[in-house]
Structure 1
Amino acid sequence: MGDQAGPASVDDQAQKLARVHRALRTLSAGNHTLLHASDEQQLLRDMCRVIVETGGYRMACIGYAEHDENHTVRWMESVGFEKELLDAHHFSWADEGAGRTAAGTAIRTGKPVVGDNLLTDPAYAFWREDSIKLGCSSAAAFPLRVEGEVLGALAMAAAEPDAFDEEEVNLLSELADDLAYGIANLRIREKHREAEATIARLAYYDGLTGLPNRTFLLERLEESMQEAKQHHRALALLHLNVGRFHEINKVLGYRSGDQLLQELGRRLELAVKENETLAHVGEAEFALLLPATSAEHAIQMAQRLASILHDPVEVSGLMVDASVNIGIALFPGHATTPEALLRRANAAMHEARPARGGYAMYTGGQEEQHTRRLALMGDLRHAIEHNQLLLYCQPKVDIASRRVCGAEALVRWEHPVHGMILPSEFIPLAEQAGLITPLTDWMLESAFSQCYAWHEAGLDRPLAVNFSAHDLRDPDLVERIRGLFSTWGIGPELMQFELTESALMEDPASALETLTDLKQLGTQLYIDDFGTGYSSLSYLQKLPVDYIKIDQAFVMPMTVSDDSAVIVRSTIELGHNLDMKIVAEGVESQAHWDSLASLGCDVAQGYHISKPMPAEQFRNWETSWA
């Protein structure tokens, strides 16, 4: 028996060594594969190929555990047979049926599993026919553990039964651990790549619209300018601003403003070619870089964009007209650096007018004017905060008695460098800089203080303060006025408020509510600039106002224009029929006075009576008028 045992033992030893050598070859080739892996799916594919082609195993496959109701094994890669064959048998890692194979058990238990004989093991009954076709007699599976969790299993099969002994299993377990480490490492690297991409996107792209941002645009501009310089070409930059954006935010809310910008961004993207760069460069501002272009083409593009953006945008269930102004600047003619080109396109944008197509080309001087406006905004804020504005007033006179019946409060700004700046210039600046509310507060404080001073001096003359559409939307306006009456202790008959017809018509329902609240304070109310706001008679009837002021655009030409005279006469009759008194603005001559007196107008205001004057001069003026 000893003679017979010798050769058998040598054969067994040889087979064992062959298996160990096979496992070592596989482990070595697998480690080489790990070193060069850059993609998880490619790593899985290469590892299966190494096991079969280098290791000499019949087949290899890798499956990941799904945490679904059926505990499905999702096969990622296979070599030696088609992956579809595995999918057709619905392998699982549940403790029953197809889950009791080596792969399912390795996933479930987290330990290596050897299926000694596929042809006799009951767990592989459903797979037996395929095993015979594939020439597989034994199988082994090794768990893939990533970050403390069993991700799946590495499974392989050999042609001979009882193929996987202890040493071979140990070596192949090491291979599986290396593979799991490789998967984890690739996933970490992928997370790092994603994080870097996210950081880059945050740095170069706008989160709201998904478009490139100002930083991206400036870098692309730098590149495009260098290229244009090399090839002796020009390029254009279009700067677009969404008009009335702050108003839309305040009336409809910031979410609606965001929706508007997103929709406009989508429309613009559809109009942009692949070699052009569209960017979101400010709160409500876009820019478009047109490489290798001319002034003519830039103008054509501006016209096209104005047309694309002309149609209303649906926001919060409402159709909103988003007027867009477009400025154009060219390299190298207007600027030779990215920042300068962007500034000059922005300066041109401020000169764009709807009547001129909504776009403007940079012509020089615009940037300086825009810079002056920005500087004035800062100076205006300082002037308001440090009480450096001036309160002026323009008298109102009762036509029948020629007695002074009050005055309109006006604001003036004497700039320390530029001198007296007209309200027509600094009021729009206040609107752009968000200073309307502080400016109105200054006016109210000054007017109440002046009325108190007049009252203490024995002069009780009402002073009228103008409100803008922005003021009418201020929910705290009426409470502030109520507080000022309490602070100064003057009667409501000494304060009046004027609201332009156009301001009332921007939001009639809200305006009516504010007027009603103001009227409940006991004050008198005026509709200013009547005839320019297209209010309806039905709406006019609802307003709790005491006076209608006919706009000077109708009063001044009434002595030479029959049409204007008809409008003035009709307005006087309409106001009287509605139990309102009529104030005529723009009374600049005795002829105006006489005509208005003959028509029964109640009050006159204009240069024939007096120009606006500093409020402290009013008392002396009234004495001289009397």
Structure 2
Amino acid sequence: MASDDGARPVRPDLAAAPDAVFRLDLEGRFTYVNAAAELLLGHGVDELMGRRARDLFPAAVDTLAAERYQQTLADGCAREFDYFYEPHGRWYEIRVFADPPGISVFFRDVDSRHRADAERDAELRRLTSVLEALPSATVLLDEDRRILTANRAWITGRTQPVQSAGVPGSDYLAAIRPGLAPADAETIEAGIGCLLEAPAGSAAAGFEHEYPRSTPTTTGWFRLQASRVEQSRRIVVTHTDITERVRSEQALAWRARHDDLTGLANRGTLLDLTAEALADGPSDDGAGAALIVLDLDGFKTINDSLGHGIGDQLLRQVGHRLAGALRPGDAVGRLGSDQFVVLARGCHVSDAADLAFRLQGTFTRPFPASGISVPLSASVGVAVAQPEARDPHQLLSDADAAMFAAKSMGRDRVRLFSPGLREAARWRLEVATRLRDEAIDQLVVYYQPVVRLDTGAVEGVEALVRWQHPERGLLGPDTFLSVAEETGQIIPITRWLLRETTRRAAAWAAEGLPLRMSVNISARHFSAETLVRDVRLALRESGLAPDQLVLELTETSVAEDPTRAEDQLTVLRRAGVRIAIDDFGTGWSSLAQLFSLPIGTLKIDRSLLVAAEQVTGGEGGAVLAAIVALTRTLGIRSVAEGVETVDHLRMVREAGCDMVQGWLLGHPMPADELPGWLRRVQEAGGDACALAAARTPVTTAP
């Protein structure tokens, strides 16, 4: 095969090959070698030609290379493989082809590439071991966004960041896209793209994104964190399950905007919704937003008597019934305690009123709770926004003012807001503020005589508190005591009143005017449980005999907490203090409950006198006589209040009342005027009733 001059035999078909090439015959002898092969084999063509490969390269005998050569000689099939030649310590890429009667071998030095691949594979194994240590599902991506490797959490899907985990070699974005919202998928794709596009070696910022993934049965939340592997174009992506955290945050956010007890919107949420409705403005036909405030009547009594557990059940039922009565688009919430509010959209005044009455109608059926049936009612206030209104707090204040007016009208009423109610609300705020500050020092007491019907003698007086307002002048109790009841300021006012009146009565007694002093007591004092102490302290400081003090309580106030009232009144009665029920006929307590208290006097309200007069055409003695007879049977004295005419006086006398009180006999008067008035009664014969019947009213002027 050698040329005559000893040069390398020329194979035109192999000479142009870029790789190292040699040819072996059936005996394994070299029959052709190109220049590149001489260089890589380390032998010149003269040393190779005609020599057997196994003799020149004994280290290759019985190796993978020899085996592949023999296989190709045997079957004629081409083979390609990598081969590490120990003497050189290098890797070669070898391709073997049949070239009858022998084989042709193409080979190249790939040691650098092979070692780089090996290093890359080692690095990949190291990264994989690191990924395995991570509890979150993690993948390593190549520059084509394909998965190079993944940890067990990703493969087994313990945290389920994808519906079907992508395997190494698969497209990462295709694996993660199912179950994601399109916007989330686009965000993730763009974020990873930015990491890949960052210049090599740059400190590319990481990428984070939180996303939900939905399945047919549930929704999970994950935080994706992606970053570039240093000095490479690979991306590590970690998926952390944050479902519990997100659900906790959602629960906290829900609780922040809803009432824990009823699940309804809370005050803040309703105000936000109202602000949105007001911002939208009225519709083309002028319909706008309205707020309807409902305050349960007497709910404190239910809580105190039946317990807060039943009270909570009732509040949940009320919320459910109100929600069921709403129109589409309306909302109901709980303001707190026993108050609810409804936001009605697209309302004219008539629409809001109709809805208010419908809501009130939900209370016609009793509410079952723990085996009992509890009747409830509500006072309802309605405020419809004016076209220019934008303040939700003002609209709520207006509805609240209307509700307060409804409650003041007798409860279980519906009242529409009017501008005058806003002024009334401002007045209540002023009263509440001043009562906490300087107002007690501005209070004064007027005294109205209580006269015996049998002799006409003045037996005692009822203390009636007034407010000497610095700007408005002298104000009656109706203008401020109801606010004092709401705010709890009635208790310090009553303490002051007890001290003032017992001191005054003791001073009059020392002057020879022994008048029994009647003082009104609020139901709030029973709840505070300081009544016994406050009365004892006032009596001790003043020196007034206990039987000269009469505590007057309305039957409604007693009925709010009869057990607590009975306990405290019994202690006081044993100490000698007298007890009277005021305004009898205006409350709703049972007689059995009422007369179980240690009362000594029953004061018949003026409304019964008027009613008896109207029903019987002026002959109302028989109606009142039944009441008086009942009290007398129980050993209780009766006082007729509000006697303003001679006919009233005659009626109560015929009914057998023990005592009488009213403008016909004597107006309420300041303390310094009362002694003079009493002297004039004595000078006129001492019978105040006779003077009144003779139509000779006693003036308060000297």
Question: Could you state the TM-score of these two structures normalised by the residue count of structure 1?
Answer: 0.68
Whole-angstrom distance in 1 between the partners of 2:516 and 2:651: 26
Matching residue of 1:224: 277
Counterpart contact for 1:303–1:357, Cα < 8 Å: no
Counterpart contact for 2:555–2:583, Cα < 8 Å: yes
Q: Which amino acid aligns with 2:290?
A: L
Q: Deviations over 1:131-187 (max 9, x none)?
A: xxxxxxxxxxxxxxxxxxxxxxxxxxxxxxxxxxxxxxxx9xx999956xx345x74
Matching residue of 1:612: 668
Matching residue of 2:392: 338
Q: Deviations over 1:367-414 (max 9, x none)?
A: 2232223223323444554x2111111112222222221111211123
Q: Aligned-pair distance for 1:614?
A: 1.3
Q: Which amino acid aligns with 1:47?
A: V
Whole-angstrom distance in 1 between the partners of 2:590 and 2:376: 25
Q: Which amino acid aligns with 2:139?
A: M
- Is residue 242 of structure 1 aligned with residue 295 of structure 2? yes
Q: Aligned-pair distance for 1:495?
A: 0.9
Summarize the Cα distance change of 1:275–1:26 in structure 2 as closer, same or farther, 3 Å threshold: farther
Q: Aligned-pair distance for 1:356?
A: 10
Whole-angstrom distance in 2 between the partners of 1:28 and 1:434: 72
Summarize the Cα distance change of 1:470–1:229 in structure 2 as closer, same or farther, 3 Å threshold: closer
Residue 421 of structure 2, aligned match among 337, 357, 366: 366
Q: What SS does the aligned partner of 2:485 have?
A: helix
For 1:184-195, list aligned pairs within 5 A: 187=242, 191=245
Summarize the Cα distance change of 1:585–1:269 in structure 2 as closer, same or farther, 3 Å threshold: closer
Matching residue of 1:586: 642
Residue 358 of structure 2, aligned match among 304, 312, 331: 304
- Is residue 493 of structure 1 aligned with residue 585 of structure 2? no
Whole-angstrom distance in 1 between the partners of 2:675 and 2:573: 28
Q: Which amino acid aligns with 1:368?
A: E
Q: Aligned-pair distance for 1:521?
A: 0.9
Summarize the Cα distance change of 1:252–1:356 in structure 2 as closer, same or farther, 3 Å threshold: closer
For 1:497-576, list aligned pairs within 5 A: 497-533=551-587, 538-539=592-593, 542-555=596-609, 561=617, 564-576=620-632
Q: Which amino acid aligns with 1:484?
A: A
Q: What SS does the aligned partner of 2:529 have?
A: coil
Q: Aligned-pair distance for 1:238?
A: 1.8
Q: Which amino acid aligns with 2:332?
A: L
Q: Deviations over 1:210-250 (max 9, x none)?
A: 44444444443343334346867632222313234555566
Summarize the Cα distance change of 1:396–1:352 in structure 2 as closer, same or farther, 3 Å threshold: closer
Counterpart contact for 2:142–2:233, Cα < 8 Å: no
Whole-angstrom distance in 2 between the partners of 1:514 and 1:316: 30
Largest Rg, 1 or 2? 2
Counterpart contact for 2:583–2:604, Cα < 8 Å: yes
Matching residue of 2:59: 2
For 1:21-170, list aligned pairs within 5 A: 21=120, 44=137, 47=139, 54=146, 61-62=152-153, 79=165
Residue 409 of structure 1, aligned match among 452, 459, 463: 463
| Identity between Structure 1 and Structure 2 (%) | 29
Q: Aligned-pair distance for 1:563?
A: 6.3
Whole-angstrom distance in 1 between the partners of 2:413 and 2:537: 44
Q: What SS does the aligned partner of 1:499 have?
A: strand
Counterpart contact for 2:305–2:561, Cα < 8 Å: no
Counterpart contact for 2:367–2:374, Cα < 8 Å: yes
Question: Could you state the TM-score of these two structures normalised by the residue count of structure 2?
Answer: 0.61
Summarize the Cα distance change of 1:175–1:485 in structure 2 as closer, same or farther, 3 Å threshold: farther
Q: Aligned-pair distance for 1:535?
A: 5.5
Q: Aligned-pair distance for 1:415?
A: 2.0
Between 352-361 and 218-227, the greater mean CA deviation after superposition: 352-361
Choose between structure 1 and 2 for higher RCO, CA contacts under 8 A separated by at least 6 residues. 1
Whole-angstrom distance in 1 between the partners of 2:590 and 2:331: 47
Q: What SS does the aligned partner of 2:353 have?
A: helix
Whole-angstrom distance in 1 between the partners of 2:520 and 2:287: 50
Whole-angstrom distance in 2 between the partners of 1:264 and 1:557: 36
Between 542-551 and 587-596, the greater mean CA deviation after superposition: 587-596
Summarize the Cα distance change of 1:56–1:526 in structure 2 as closer, same or farther, 3 Å threshold: closer
Summarize the Cα distance change of 1:253–1:418 in structure 2 as closer, same or farther, 3 Å threshold: farther
Counterpart contact for 2:282–2:289, Cα < 8 Å: no
Matching residue of 2:204: none
Summarize the Cα distance change of 1:557–1:267 in structure 2 as closer, same or farther, 3 Å threshold: closer
Matching residue of 1:422: 476
Counterpart contact for 2:277–2:289, Cα < 8 Å: no
Counterpart contact for 1:395–1:407, Cα < 8 Å: yes
Q: What SS does the aligned partner of 2:644 have?
A: coil
Matching residue of 2:510: 456
Q: What SS does the aligned partner of 2:464 have?
A: strand
Q: Which amino acid aligns with 1:62?
A: A
Summarize the Cα distance change of 1:313–1:523 in structure 2 as closer, same or farther, 3 Å threshold: same
